Protein backbone atom coordinates (compact mmCIF):
# COMPACT_ATOMS: atom_id res chain seq x y z
CA UNK A 1 0.00 0.00 0.00
CA UNK A 2 1.29 3.50 -0.79
CA UNK A 3 1.95 6.06 1.95
CA UNK A 4 -0.72 8.37 3.34
CA UNK A 5 1.19 11.39 2.04
CA UNK A 6 1.30 9.96 -1.48
CA UNK A 7 -2.35 8.85 -1.31
CA UNK A 8 -3.32 12.45 -0.60
CA UNK A 9 -1.14 13.67 -3.45
CA UNK A 10 -2.54 11.12 -5.87
CA UNK A 11 -6.08 12.23 -4.99
CA UNK A 12 -5.27 15.88 -5.69
CA UNK A 13 -3.01 15.36 -8.67
CA UNK A 14 -2.10 18.61 -10.35
CA UNK A 15 -4.90 20.33 -12.25
CA UNK A 16 -2.33 21.77 -14.65
CA UNK A 17 -0.91 18.38 -15.52
CA UNK A 18 -4.48 17.05 -15.92
CA UNK A 19 -5.18 19.91 -18.35
CA UNK A 20 -2.03 19.10 -20.26
CA UNK A 21 -3.37 15.57 -20.76
CA UNK A 22 -6.80 16.95 -21.67
CA UNK A 23 -5.17 19.24 -24.22
CA UNK A 24 -3.59 16.25 -25.90
CA UNK A 25 -6.97 14.49 -26.08
CA UNK A 26 -8.67 17.58 -27.55
CA UNK A 27 -5.84 17.95 -30.07
CA UNK A 28 -6.32 14.34 -31.17
CA UNK A 29 -10.06 14.99 -31.59
CA UNK A 30 -10.10 18.45 -33.22
CA UNK A 31 -6.54 18.76 -34.60
CA UNK A 32 -3.86 20.63 -32.69
CA UNK A 33 -4.34 23.81 -34.77
CA UNK A 34 -7.88 24.06 -33.39
CA UNK A 35 -7.00 23.69 -29.71
CA UNK A 36 -5.71 26.73 -27.82
CA UNK A 37 -3.70 25.35 -24.97
CA UNK A 38 -2.57 28.05 -22.54
CA UNK A 39 -2.26 25.67 -19.61
CA UNK A 40 1.41 24.82 -19.22
CA UNK A 41 4.53 26.96 -18.75
CA UNK A 42 6.52 24.92 -21.24
CA UNK A 43 8.51 27.41 -23.35
CA UNK A 44 7.64 27.21 -27.05
CA UNK A 45 10.84 28.79 -28.34
CA UNK A 46 13.66 26.33 -28.88
CA UNK A 47 16.83 26.87 -26.85
CA UNK A 48 19.27 29.31 -28.51
CA UNK A 49 21.58 27.73 -31.09
CA UNK A 50 24.48 28.50 -28.73
CA UNK A 51 23.14 25.91 -26.25
CA UNK A 52 23.25 23.16 -28.86
CA UNK A 53 26.74 24.27 -29.86
CA UNK A 54 27.79 24.32 -26.19
CA UNK A 55 26.56 20.74 -25.70
CA UNK A 56 28.41 19.63 -28.82
CA UNK A 57 31.45 21.60 -27.67
CA UNK A 58 31.46 19.90 -24.28
CA UNK A 59 31.14 16.48 -25.88
CA UNK A 60 33.89 17.22 -28.39
CA UNK A 61 36.29 18.59 -25.81
CA UNK A 62 38.66 15.74 -25.18
CA UNK A 63 40.50 17.70 -22.48
CA UNK A 64 37.41 17.53 -20.24
CA UNK A 65 38.05 14.11 -18.76
CA UNK A 66 35.08 13.82 -16.45
CA UNK A 67 32.09 14.86 -18.57
CA UNK A 68 29.90 11.96 -17.50
CA UNK A 69 31.38 11.14 -14.12
CA UNK A 70 30.51 11.87 -10.54
CA UNK A 71 31.68 15.21 -9.19
CA UNK A 72 31.35 17.08 -5.89
CA UNK A 73 27.66 17.03 -4.87
CA UNK A 74 27.55 20.83 -5.19
CA UNK A 75 28.53 20.61 -8.86
CA UNK A 76 31.68 21.13 -10.94
CA UNK A 77 33.84 23.75 -9.16
CA UNK A 78 34.71 25.42 -12.48
CA UNK A 79 31.02 25.67 -13.44
CA UNK A 80 30.16 27.22 -10.08
CA UNK A 81 33.07 29.66 -10.45
CA UNK A 82 31.84 30.67 -13.91
CA UNK A 83 28.28 31.19 -12.61
CA UNK A 84 29.62 33.21 -9.65
CA UNK A 85 31.64 35.44 -12.01
CA UNK A 86 28.58 35.99 -14.23
CA UNK A 87 26.44 36.93 -11.21
CA UNK A 88 29.11 39.28 -9.88
CA UNK A 89 29.42 41.01 -13.25
CA UNK A 90 25.67 41.43 -13.50
CA UNK A 91 24.72 42.30 -9.92
CA UNK A 92 27.91 43.67 -8.37
CA UNK A 93 27.95 40.80 -5.86
CA UNK A 94 30.90 38.84 -4.47
CA UNK A 95 30.02 35.21 -5.01
CA UNK A 96 32.70 32.57 -5.36
CA UNK A 97 32.44 28.93 -6.34
CA UNK A 98 31.80 27.97 -2.69
CA UNK A 99 28.64 30.14 -2.59
CA UNK A 100 26.87 28.05 -5.22
CA UNK A 101 25.27 24.63 -5.32
CA UNK A 102 24.16 23.45 -8.75
CA UNK A 103 20.60 22.14 -8.63
CA UNK A 104 18.13 20.03 -10.55
CA UNK A 105 16.16 23.04 -11.79
CA UNK A 106 14.31 25.42 -9.46
CA UNK A 107 12.16 22.55 -8.20
CA UNK A 108 15.27 20.65 -7.13
CA UNK A 109 16.77 23.82 -5.67
CA UNK A 110 13.65 24.62 -3.64
CA UNK A 111 13.57 21.08 -2.26
CA UNK A 112 17.24 21.27 -1.32
CA UNK A 113 16.72 24.65 0.37
CA UNK A 114 13.69 23.41 2.31
CA UNK A 115 15.38 20.16 3.31
CA UNK A 116 18.34 22.24 4.50
CA UNK A 117 16.24 24.61 6.64
CA UNK A 118 13.15 22.84 7.94
CA UNK A 119 12.47 20.94 11.14
CA UNK A 120 9.10 19.21 11.31
CA UNK A 121 6.40 21.74 12.20
CA UNK A 122 8.35 24.73 10.86
CA UNK A 123 6.38 27.23 8.84
CA UNK A 124 7.11 28.66 5.41
CA UNK A 125 5.20 31.67 4.15
CA UNK A 126 4.14 31.97 0.52
CA UNK A 127 2.39 34.87 -1.16
CA UNK A 128 -0.86 33.90 -2.88
CA UNK A 129 -1.44 33.32 -5.69
CA UNK A 130 1.62 31.06 -5.80
CA UNK A 131 3.22 28.17 -7.74
CA UNK A 132 1.08 25.24 -6.76
CA UNK A 133 3.96 22.91 -5.82
CA UNK A 134 5.21 25.03 -2.89
CA UNK A 135 2.82 23.31 -0.48
CA UNK A 136 3.93 19.87 -1.64
CA UNK A 137 7.60 20.78 -1.36
CA UNK A 138 7.18 22.17 2.17
CA UNK A 139 5.20 19.10 3.25
CA UNK A 140 7.99 16.87 1.90
CA UNK A 141 9.91 17.97 5.02
CA UNK A 142 6.89 18.00 7.35
CA UNK A 143 6.73 21.77 7.36
CA UNK A 144 3.55 23.72 6.89
CA UNK A 145 2.83 26.35 4.28
CA UNK A 146 1.31 29.59 5.56
CA UNK A 147 -0.43 31.50 2.80
CA UNK A 148 -0.54 35.30 2.78
CA UNK A 149 -2.54 37.07 0.07
CA UNK A 150 -0.83 39.52 -2.26
CA UNK A 151 -2.18 43.08 -2.37
CA UNK A 152 -5.54 43.24 -4.10
CA UNK A 153 -5.38 44.90 -7.49
CA UNK A 154 -1.64 45.08 -8.23
CA UNK A 155 -0.66 41.67 -6.76
CA UNK A 156 2.52 43.04 -5.18
CA UNK A 157 3.60 41.09 -2.07
CA UNK A 158 2.15 42.71 1.06
CA UNK A 159 5.02 43.20 3.51
CA UNK A 160 2.76 44.04 6.45
CA UNK A 161 0.68 40.90 5.88
CA UNK A 162 3.87 38.82 5.64
CA UNK A 163 5.10 40.34 8.90
CA UNK A 164 1.78 39.61 10.60
CA UNK A 165 2.03 35.95 9.55
CA UNK A 166 5.51 35.42 11.04
CA UNK A 167 5.49 33.26 14.17
CA UNK A 168 8.19 31.66 16.31
CA UNK A 169 8.05 28.71 13.89
CA UNK A 170 8.57 30.70 10.70
CA UNK A 171 11.74 29.56 8.96
CA UNK A 172 11.39 31.12 5.55
CA UNK A 173 9.34 33.22 3.16
CA UNK A 174 9.23 32.16 -0.49
CA UNK A 175 9.33 35.09 -2.88
CA UNK A 176 8.74 34.56 -6.59
CA UNK A 177 9.33 37.52 -8.89
CA UNK A 178 8.67 37.72 -11.83
CA UNK A 179 5.67 35.85 -10.57
CA UNK A 180 3.91 32.73 -11.65
CA UNK A 181 0.90 33.00 -12.07
CA UNK A 182 0.36 36.80 -12.11
CA UNK A 183 3.29 38.01 -14.26
CA UNK A 184 3.90 40.73 -11.66
CA UNK A 185 7.47 41.89 -10.91
CA UNK A 186 7.97 43.01 -7.31
CA UNK A 187 9.16 46.60 -7.15
CA UNK A 188 12.25 47.72 -5.28
CA UNK A 189 10.04 49.29 -2.61
CA UNK A 190 8.12 46.01 -2.14
CA UNK A 191 11.43 44.19 -1.62
CA UNK A 192 12.71 46.88 0.77
CA UNK A 193 9.50 46.69 2.81
CA UNK A 194 9.67 42.89 3.05
CA UNK A 195 13.36 43.09 4.01
CA UNK A 196 12.65 45.67 6.75
CA UNK A 197 9.79 43.61 8.18
CA UNK A 198 11.76 40.36 8.19
CA UNK A 199 14.88 42.02 9.64
CA UNK A 200 12.81 43.37 12.53
CA UNK A 201 11.18 39.97 13.12
CA UNK A 202 14.52 38.13 12.95
CA UNK A 203 16.18 40.59 15.35
CA UNK A 204 13.33 40.29 17.80
CA UNK A 205 13.32 36.49 17.83
CA UNK A 206 17.08 36.09 17.55
CA UNK A 207 16.78 33.58 14.69
CA UNK A 208 16.73 34.50 11.03
CA UNK A 209 13.67 34.21 8.83
CA UNK A 210 15.21 33.37 5.46
CA UNK A 211 13.94 34.50 2.08
CA UNK A 212 13.92 31.71 -0.47
CA UNK A 213 13.91 33.59 -3.76
CA UNK A 214 12.43 31.36 -6.45
CA UNK A 215 13.73 32.87 -9.68
CA UNK A 216 13.08 30.77 -12.78
CA UNK A 217 11.73 33.89 -14.53
CA UNK A 218 14.50 36.32 -13.44
CA UNK A 219 15.53 37.29 -17.00
CA UNK A 220 11.98 37.40 -18.32
CA UNK A 221 11.09 41.03 -17.59
CA UNK A 222 9.80 43.30 -20.34
CA UNK A 223 10.21 46.92 -21.32
CA UNK A 224 13.35 47.44 -19.23
CA UNK A 225 11.60 46.56 -15.96
CA UNK A 226 14.26 45.84 -13.34
CA UNK A 227 14.09 42.73 -11.17
CA UNK A 228 15.84 43.60 -7.89
CA UNK A 229 18.57 41.17 -6.74
CA UNK A 230 17.06 40.26 -3.38
CA UNK A 231 20.29 39.39 -1.51
CA UNK A 232 21.32 43.04 -1.86
CA UNK A 233 18.32 44.09 0.22
CA UNK A 234 18.19 41.13 2.58
CA UNK A 235 21.32 39.14 3.39
CA UNK A 236 19.54 36.03 4.67
CA UNK A 237 18.48 34.99 1.20
CA UNK A 238 18.79 31.71 -0.65
CA UNK A 239 18.41 32.24 -4.39
CA UNK A 240 16.95 29.33 -6.35
CA UNK A 241 17.61 29.96 -10.04
CA UNK A 242 16.82 27.81 -13.05
CA UNK A 243 17.57 27.87 -16.79
CA UNK A 244 14.28 26.04 -17.51
CA UNK A 245 12.49 29.14 -18.76
CA UNK A 246 15.26 31.59 -19.72
CA UNK A 247 16.96 29.14 -22.09
CA UNK A 248 13.95 26.85 -22.76
CA UNK A 249 15.58 23.87 -21.02
CA UNK A 250 12.92 22.58 -18.59
CA UNK A 251 13.54 18.94 -19.43
CA UNK A 252 17.27 19.21 -18.79
CA UNK A 253 16.76 20.07 -15.10
CA UNK A 254 19.45 22.61 -14.38
CA UNK A 255 19.72 25.54 -11.98
CA UNK A 256 21.60 26.65 -8.88
CA UNK A 257 21.32 27.83 -5.31
CA UNK A 258 23.27 30.98 -4.41
CA UNK A 259 23.98 31.91 -0.79
CA UNK A 260 26.21 34.90 -0.05
CA UNK A 261 28.77 35.05 2.77
CA UNK A 262 26.58 37.67 4.48
CA UNK A 263 23.71 35.19 4.87
CA UNK A 264 23.32 33.90 8.45
CA UNK A 265 24.98 30.48 8.80
CA UNK A 266 25.95 30.56 5.11
CA UNK A 267 28.79 28.03 5.38
CA UNK A 268 26.56 25.56 7.22
CA UNK A 269 23.73 26.14 4.76
CA UNK A 270 25.98 25.53 1.77
CA UNK A 271 27.47 22.40 3.26
CA UNK A 272 24.01 21.09 4.20
CA UNK A 273 22.62 21.96 0.75
CA UNK A 274 25.31 19.86 -0.93
CA UNK A 275 24.46 16.97 1.41
CA UNK A 276 20.72 17.51 0.81
CA UNK A 277 21.39 17.28 -2.93
CA UNK A 278 23.00 13.90 -2.31
CA UNK A 279 20.55 12.41 0.18
CA UNK A 280 17.47 13.52 -1.77
CA UNK A 281 18.82 11.23 -4.45
CA UNK A 282 19.79 13.91 -6.97
CA UNK A 283 23.49 13.24 -6.07
CA UNK A 284 24.41 16.18 -8.31
CA UNK A 285 22.83 18.33 -11.01
CA UNK A 286 23.14 16.67 -14.47
CA UNK A 287 26.77 16.95 -15.55
CA UNK A 288 26.56 17.52 -19.31
CA UNK A 289 24.11 20.39 -19.06
CA UNK A 290 26.05 21.92 -16.15
CA UNK A 291 29.11 22.10 -18.39
CA UNK A 292 27.05 23.39 -21.30
CA UNK A 293 25.29 26.25 -19.46
CA UNK A 294 28.64 27.41 -18.10
CA UNK A 295 29.57 28.15 -21.74
CA UNK A 296 26.48 30.27 -22.46
CA UNK A 297 26.14 32.40 -19.34
CA UNK A 298 25.87 35.60 -21.39
CA UNK A 299 22.96 34.22 -23.44
CA UNK A 300 19.64 36.12 -23.23
CA UNK A 301 16.14 34.65 -23.43
CA UNK A 302 13.88 35.30 -26.42
CA UNK A 303 12.39 38.37 -24.76
CA UNK A 304 11.14 39.97 -27.96
CA UNK A 305 9.18 36.83 -28.89
CA UNK A 306 7.46 36.63 -25.51
CA UNK A 307 6.90 40.40 -25.46
CA UNK A 308 5.14 40.13 -28.83
CA UNK A 309 2.91 37.36 -27.46
CA UNK A 310 2.19 39.44 -24.39
CA UNK A 311 1.02 42.43 -26.43
CA UNK A 312 -1.06 40.29 -28.76
CA UNK A 313 -2.83 38.40 -25.97
CA UNK A 314 -3.20 41.26 -23.48
CA UNK A 315 -4.29 43.68 -26.21
CA UNK A 316 -6.66 41.17 -27.81
CA UNK A 317 -8.34 40.13 -24.57
CA UNK A 318 -8.74 43.58 -23.05
CA UNK A 319 -10.28 44.77 -26.34
CA UNK A 320 -12.83 41.98 -25.98
CA UNK A 321 -13.70 43.13 -22.46
CA UNK A 322 -11.63 40.72 -20.35
CA UNK A 323 -9.94 42.31 -17.34
CA UNK A 324 -6.26 41.37 -17.16
CA UNK A 325 -3.25 42.28 -15.04
CA UNK A 326 -0.64 43.74 -17.41
CA UNK A 327 2.28 41.35 -16.97
CA UNK A 328 5.72 42.90 -16.56
CA UNK A 329 7.49 39.56 -16.43
CA UNK A 330 7.35 35.76 -16.79
CA UNK A 331 5.03 34.53 -19.56
CA UNK A 332 1.68 34.39 -17.81
CA UNK A 333 -1.44 36.51 -18.12
CA UNK A 334 -3.66 36.74 -15.04
CA UNK A 335 -7.23 37.25 -16.18
CA UNK A 336 -10.20 38.09 -14.00
CA UNK A 337 -12.89 35.42 -14.26
CA UNK A 338 -16.02 37.12 -15.60
CA UNK A 339 -18.70 36.55 -12.97
CA UNK A 340 -16.02 35.68 -10.41
CA UNK A 341 -16.10 31.87 -10.66
CA UNK A 342 -12.74 30.80 -12.11
CA UNK A 343 -13.65 27.14 -12.43
CA UNK A 344 -16.83 28.00 -14.35
CA UNK A 345 -14.75 30.34 -16.54
CA UNK A 346 -12.27 27.53 -17.36
CA UNK A 347 -15.14 25.13 -18.11
CA UNK A 348 -16.84 27.69 -20.38
CA UNK A 349 -13.52 28.31 -22.18
CA UNK A 350 -13.09 24.60 -22.79
CA UNK A 351 -16.23 24.60 -24.94
CA UNK A 352 -14.27 26.79 -27.39
CA UNK A 353 -11.18 24.56 -27.10
CA UNK A 354 -9.42 27.14 -24.94
CA UNK A 355 -7.46 25.65 -22.07
CA UNK A 356 -6.61 27.93 -19.18
CA UNK A 357 -5.94 27.17 -15.53
CA UNK A 358 -8.41 28.29 -12.87
CA UNK A 359 -6.78 30.59 -10.30
CA UNK A 360 -7.99 28.34 -7.48
CA UNK A 361 -5.11 26.03 -8.45
CA UNK A 362 -2.74 28.81 -7.37
CA UNK A 363 -4.76 29.87 -4.30
CA UNK A 364 -5.95 32.79 -6.43
CA UNK A 365 -9.70 32.27 -6.89
CA UNK A 366 -11.61 34.64 -9.14
CA UNK A 367 -8.85 34.67 -11.77
CA UNK A 368 -7.39 32.33 -14.38
CA UNK A 369 -3.86 31.91 -15.72
CA UNK A 370 -2.96 31.85 -19.38
CA UNK A 371 0.57 30.75 -20.24
CA UNK A 372 1.54 32.66 -23.39
CA UNK A 373 4.76 30.75 -24.04
CA UNK A 374 2.98 29.41 -27.12
CA UNK A 375 3.34 29.99 -30.85
CA UNK A 376 2.15 33.46 -31.91
CA UNK A 377 -0.25 31.74 -34.35
CA UNK A 378 -1.93 29.97 -31.42
CA UNK A 379 -2.81 33.35 -29.92
CA UNK A 380 -3.93 34.71 -33.31
CA UNK A 381 -6.17 31.71 -33.88
CA UNK A 382 -7.44 31.74 -30.29
CA UNK A 383 -8.68 35.34 -30.33
CA UNK A 384 -11.86 34.61 -32.36
CA UNK A 385 -12.58 31.77 -29.90
CA UNK A 386 -12.10 34.20 -27.00
CA UNK A 387 -14.51 36.56 -28.80
CA UNK A 388 -17.19 33.83 -28.91
CA UNK A 389 -16.53 33.08 -25.24
CA UNK A 390 -16.86 36.81 -24.44
CA UNK A 391 -20.21 36.82 -26.23
CA UNK A 392 -21.41 33.86 -24.20
CA UNK A 393 -20.22 35.54 -21.00
CA UNK A 394 -21.82 38.85 -22.10
CA UNK A 395 -18.66 40.95 -21.68
N1 LIG B 1 8.98 27.88 -9.46
C2 LIG B 1 8.08 28.44 -10.26
C3 LIG B 1 7.44 29.70 -9.84
C4 LIG B 1 7.73 27.84 -11.47
O5 LIG B 1 6.82 28.42 -12.25
C6 LIG B 1 8.37 26.63 -11.84
C7 LIG B 1 8.01 25.95 -13.08
O8 LIG B 1 7.08 26.25 -13.76
C9 LIG B 1 9.32 26.10 -10.98
C10 LIG B 1 9.61 26.75 -9.80
C11 LIG B 1 10.05 24.84 -11.33
O12 LIG B 1 10.98 25.14 -12.32
P13 LIG B 1 12.09 24.09 -12.81
O14 LIG B 1 11.63 23.55 -14.10
O15 LIG B 1 13.31 24.90 -12.95
O16 LIG B 1 12.22 23.07 -11.75
Pocket-forming residues, ligand 1, beta carbon under 6 Å: 41, 105-107, 131, 176, 180, 214, 216, 242, 244, 250, 255
- Specify the 3-state DSSP secondary structure of 344: helix
**Every domain range in the chain assigned CATH 3.40.640.10:** 50-293
Rounded to the nearest angstrom, the distance between the alpha carbon of 44 and the centre of ligand 1 is 15
Q: Is the pLDDT of residue 137 over 70?
A: yes
Note whether 159 and 200 are within 8 A (CB): no
The dihedral formed by the CA atoms of 105, 106, 108 and 109, expressed in degrees to the nearest 10? 120
Other C-beta atoms lying within 10 Å of the C-beta of residue 225: 11
For residue 109, report the distance from its CA to the centre of ligand 1, in Å. Answer: 10
Is 3.40.640.10 the CATH classification of the domain at 50-293? yes
All CATH 3.90.1150.10 domain ranges of the chain, comma separated, are 4-47+301-393
**pLDDT, tens digit, for every residue of 369-382?**
999 999 999 999 99
More confident site: 251 or 61: 251
Asked if pLDDT for residue 4 goes beyond 80, the answer is yes
What's 97's DSSP letter? G
Q: How far away, in angstroms, is 188 Cα from ligand 1 center?
A: 23
Provide the pLDDT confidence category of residue 208 given band limits of 50, 70 and 90.
very high
What pLDDT shows up at residue 26? 87
Fold of 4-47+301-393: 3.90.1150
What is the rounded average pLDDT for all residues in the chain?
96
DSSP 32: G
For the CA of 250, the closest atom of ligand 1 is 14
* 207 DSSP 8-state letter: S
Which mutation among 131, 238, 246 tests ligand 1's pocket best, with the greatest number of atoms within 8 A of CB?
131
What pLDDT does 24 receive?
84
Please tell me the residue having the least CA distance from ligand 1 atom 2: 131
In this model, does residue 332 exceed pLDDT 70? yes
Residue 53 has pLDDT above 70, yes or no: yes
pLDDT of residue 32: 86
Provide, rounded to the nearest whole percent, the portion of the chain with pLDDT above 90. 91
pLDDT band per the 50, 70, 90 thresholds, residue 65? low
CA-wise closest residue to 374 among 37, 98, 58: 37
Q: Comparing 29-43, 156-170, 197-211, 265-279, which segment has the lowest mean pLDDT?
A: 29-43
Q: Is the pLDDT of residue 13 over 80?
A: no
Amino acid sequence: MISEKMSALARNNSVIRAMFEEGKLLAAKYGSANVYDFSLGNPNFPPPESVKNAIIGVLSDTSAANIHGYMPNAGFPEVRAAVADALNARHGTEYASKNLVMSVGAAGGLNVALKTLLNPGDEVIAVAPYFVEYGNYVRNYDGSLVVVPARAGDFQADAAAIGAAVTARTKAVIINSPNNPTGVVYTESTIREIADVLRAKSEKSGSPVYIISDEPYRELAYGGVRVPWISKYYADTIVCYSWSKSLSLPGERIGYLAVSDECADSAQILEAAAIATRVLGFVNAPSLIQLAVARVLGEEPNLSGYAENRELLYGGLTKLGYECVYPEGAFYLWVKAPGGDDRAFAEAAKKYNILLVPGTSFAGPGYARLAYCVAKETIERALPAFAKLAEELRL
